[in-house]
A and B are shown apart, each in its own frame.
Chain A
Amino acid sequence: MAHADTHAHAHAHADDGHDAHGHAPSGIGRWLFATNHKDIGTMYLVFALTMFFIGGAMAMVIRLELFQPGLQFVDPGFFNSMTTMHALVMIFGGVMPAWVGLANWMIPLQVGAPDMALPRMNNYSFWILPFAFTLLLSSLFLPGGAPAGGWTLYPPLSLQAGDSFGLTIFAIHMMGASSIMGAINVIVTILNMRAPGMTLLKMPLFCWTWLITAYLLIAVMPVLAGAVTMLLTDHYFGTAFFNPAGGGDPVMFQHIFWFFGHPEVYILILPAFGIVSEIIPTFSRKPLFGYESMVYATGSIAFLSFIVWAHHMFTVGMPLAGQLFFMLSTMLIAIPTGVKVFNWTTTLWRGSISFEPPMLFALAFLFLFTIGGFSGLMLAIVPADFQYHDTYFVVAHFHYVLVPGAVFGIMAGVYYWLPKWTGYMYNMKLANWHFWLSTISVNVLFFPMHFLGLAGMPRRIPDYNVQFADWNMVASLGGFAFGLSQIMFVWIVVKSVRGGGVKASARVWDDTVSEGLEWTVPSPAPHHTFDTPPVIK
């Protein structure tokens, strides 16, 4: 893959010295009018971390209420608001902005570009987000409460919401506009701004998985925008897209929603595949096994994601041919995903492995994401799904792929690149503690949910039969431990940002394998990098 020529390296250093206007602008204007990809990336990451804690606080309310059977702390309507808002905040406010933040920081550095292709649009796409989430979160204080019909917004239930309805829809429109602009920026940067000699198949895999993710985003986020627009006109303007009395069909919403929704779950996970594909070679001190097959596998997963949506809704009824098609196409996804897991495992094989925090998170990702993948295969089986549908088994499945999957992928990426951003190594001992506490508690939190689901506990209900009491208490204890462990993450990051301690070298991890151009610029990465394109041999 890419080898930057030593000139580029020297140049980056020289830049540092002579370039007086290379320093960051000061004051609040630096952030309000930011066009620098590193500043915008930082804002995205801080925003995502804030939302991670807001969404996490909602999850704590859910686990608190489910700690024991009966209704103890919140009324059922508020509980429903919490499950709905937790999902919306974590998906659209936590995971997606975190990925865009990492893309902003790393993609220009990895392809040798001076900045993102469309810096002003980059500013716009970030600054929409705080407004979108102010709208969404303010609905908590409206009469009638926040949306409580589930993040999937199924009509007719979602149409019965109070004043929060319009706010929710407009917030989703704004989040969609933000992600579409972010995605277009990534595509243009990768296709147009690569340094000379950086061919597509020399790019680090994080760029590849993000390129494919960006295409998924511009293909399906507008479909969601269309679906929620139809809800909006059904609610306020008397159309009847989803009302049978006017010739509509509520099941049609589910089809349109999941046509967006299934590619969306790959939007949340594909960039994690890219990050893990860079971390595992670095700490195994071996090149990635099967680079090109990783690219093709990612492409296949993205293609398949468009033809499997109805497996989310087998129980609404569909022709036998439809059930068979969606069952088999869903199972097909296991093949390219299996290729990836095989490649990661083979990269580890006979590697000279060391266990720094990014590697620990990547290995936990590999193992725990695969568990989530297996429960996904169980859910793909139509007759089994009839039993599992809307139970805690589904909750266990998607939390395994989203928390030790996507969220651990983000944390692995942060621990991998944090010294590059701040110029200082973080506290390895604390990071190891953060890893082990998170990994143990996340399993205590989500593994028992498999048992609860198989025993028949329904999701989205604040009370439950006493037979489910023991495992719910275990899950809640795991949840509280996981929530508290994340405070360590903030502490570690803040300490590293404030500096002090061991200075990071340009290569940071002292390996000879990682070939991304980000390791050719000094740590911390200067405000402006690659003003003159590096030459890749």
Chain B
Amino acid sequence: MNTPGEPPKVTNRSLAGRLFLFAAGSFAFGFALVPLYDVLCSVWEVGNRWTGEKAVAVVEHPQADRLVTVEFMTSVPNNGRWEFRPLVAALQVHPGQLYSAQFHAQNLSGHDTVGQAVPSVAPSVAAQHFRKTECFCFTPQPFRKDEGRDMPVRFIVDRDLPADVDRVTLSYAMFEQPALAAVRQ
């Protein structure tokens, strides 16, 4: 490129200009990956994109001849102070039918705060068949100082629950979210 005694064939400014164009091309390539990804996904029939199918309402028929026990549990990890308990310890449910349960939480921290409940379903094979249609765990829950209230969860245990499962445990851990509390003020 650079023979002795001769100036370089390309000036620094022009070489730098070409390299900036190269970088601009890379920036454009990043965006070009979006349509490229669409094409590859449709060729291989993979990806999570909306394909234009319409949602279809499904009517669930309760399975009257089967009873499953759903137990409710709560726990409070050590980063906040709460009273937190289910109003009933367990329900007998028919798969395919919508039920509602209440949990009571009270803020014992002595100041306004925000709680976030994190759900867990055991055994793990049952988790995908336990459908929550409404839950206080979907959103952060603001509490004023000393405030206590009941919060609902509505759920369906679906009919595909494996036959050998007759007991499902729904447990919640309640975390304090001071960072979110700060945002909300």
Spell out A's residues near B (CB within 8 Å).
70-71, 75-78, 117-118, 121, 143-145, 162-163, 180, 183-185, 187-188, 191-194, 196-198, 200, 218-227, 230, 241, 244-245, 247-252, 255-256, 259-260, 317-319, 322, 463, 535
Q: Is B124 part of the binding interface, using a Cβ–Cβ cutoff of 8 Å?
A: no
Spell out B's residues near A (CB within 8 Å).
1-5, 8, 10-12, 15-16, 19-20, 22-31, 33-34, 37, 41, 44, 46-50, 77-79, 175-180, 182-183, 185
Q: In the bound complex, do residue B23 and residue A200 qualify as a contact, i.e. CB atoms below 8 Å apart?
A: no
Can you list 27 pairs linking A and B with CB atoms under 8 Å apart?
A: A76-B79, A77-B178, A144-B180, A144-B182, A162-B179, A163-B183, A184-B19, A184-B20, A185-B16, A187-B19, A191-B8, A192-B8, A196-B4, A221-B23, A221-B26, A222-B30, A223-B26, A223-B27, A223-B29, A223-B33, A241-B34, A244-B48, A244-B49, A255-B33, A256-B30, A256-B33, A260-B30
- Of B19, B37, B48, chain A has the most CB atoms within 10 Å of the CB of B19
Q: Determine the chain B residues whose CB is within 8 A of the CB of A260 once the complex forms.
A: 30
Q: How far is the CA of A105 from the CA of B30 in the complex (A)?
A: 32
Q: Determine the chain B residues whose CB is within 8 A of the CB of A194 once the complex forms.
A: 1-2
Q: Determine the chain B residues whose CB is within 8 A of the CB of A162 once the complex forms.
A: 179, 183
A264 to chain B, nearest CB (A): 13
Q: A252-B34, A317-B46 are in contact. Are A75 and B4 (CB under 8 A)?
A: no
- The listed residue (A118, A197, A218, A319) touching B22 by CB distance below 8 A is A218
- Of A121, A184, A193, chain B has the most CB atoms within 10 Å of the CB of A184
A229 to chain B, nearest CB (A): 8
Q: In the bound complex, do residue A143 and residue B77 qualify as a contact, i.e. CB atoms below 8 Å apart?
A: no
Q: In the bound complex, do residue B24 and residue A222 qualify as a contact, i.e. CB atoms below 8 Å apart?
A: yes
Q: In the bound complex, do residue A251 and residue B47 qualify as a contact, i.e. CB atoms below 8 Å apart?
A: yes
Q: In the bound complex, do residue B4 and residue A197 qualify as a contact, i.e. CB atoms below 8 Å apart?
A: yes
Q: How far is the CA of A67 from the CA of B47 in the complex (A)?
A: 40
Q: Determine the chain A residues whose CB is within 8 A of the CB of B47 once the complex forms.
A: 249, 251-252
- The listed residue (B12, B33, B182) touching A118 by CB distance below 8 A is B12
Q: Determine the chain B residues whose CB is within 8 A of the CB of A144 once the complex forms.
A: 179-180, 182-183
- The listed residue (A70, A77, A185) touching B179 by CB distance below 8 A is A77
**10 tightest Cβ-Cβ pairs between the two chains A and B:** A226-B30, A196-B4, A222-B27, A222-B26, A223-B30, A143-B182, A184-B19, A192-B8, A117-B12, A145-B179
- The listed residue (A219, A230, A245, A535) touching B26 by CB distance below 8 A is A219
Q: How far is the CA of A221 from the CA of B5 in the complex (A)?
A: 36
Q: Determine the chain A residues whose CB is within 8 A of the CB of B22 once the complex forms.
A: 218-219
B125 to chain A, nearest CB (A): 18
Q: In the bound complex, do residue A249 and residue B48 qualify as a contact, i.e. CB atoms below 8 Å apart?
A: yes
- The listed residue (A121, A180, A319) touching B44 by CB distance below 8 A is A319
Beyond A198-B2, A219-B26, A252-B34, 8 additional contacts (C-beta under 8 Å) are A76-B175, A196-B2, A222-B30, A226-B30, A230-B31, A249-B37, A249-B47, A256-B30
B118 to chain A, nearest CB (A): 10
Q: A71-B78, A196-B2, A249-B37 are in contact. Are A225 and B30 (CB under 8 A)?
A: yes
Q: A188-B16, A244-B50 are in contact. Are A259 and B33 (CB under 8 A)?
A: yes
Q: Determine the chain A residues whose CB is within 8 A of the CB of B46 once the complex forms.
A: 317-319
B12 to chain A, nearest CB (A): 5
Q: A222-B26, A222-B30, A251-B47 are in contact. Are A191 and B1 (CB under 8 A)?
A: yes
B23 to chain A, nearest CB (A): 5
- The listed residue (A143, A196, A317) touching B183 by CB distance below 8 A is A143
Q: In the bound complex, do residue A188 and residue B37 qualify as a contact, i.e. CB atoms below 8 Å apart?
A: no
Closest to A81 in B: B179
Q: How far is the CA of A194 from the CA of B34 in the complex (A)?
A: 40
Q: In the bound complex, do residue A180 and residue B183 qualify as a contact, i.e. CB atoms below 8 Å apart?
A: no
Q: How far is the CA of A317 from the CA of B44 in the complex (A)?
A: 12
- The listed residue (A70, A192, A218, A226) touching B31 by CB distance below 8 A is A226
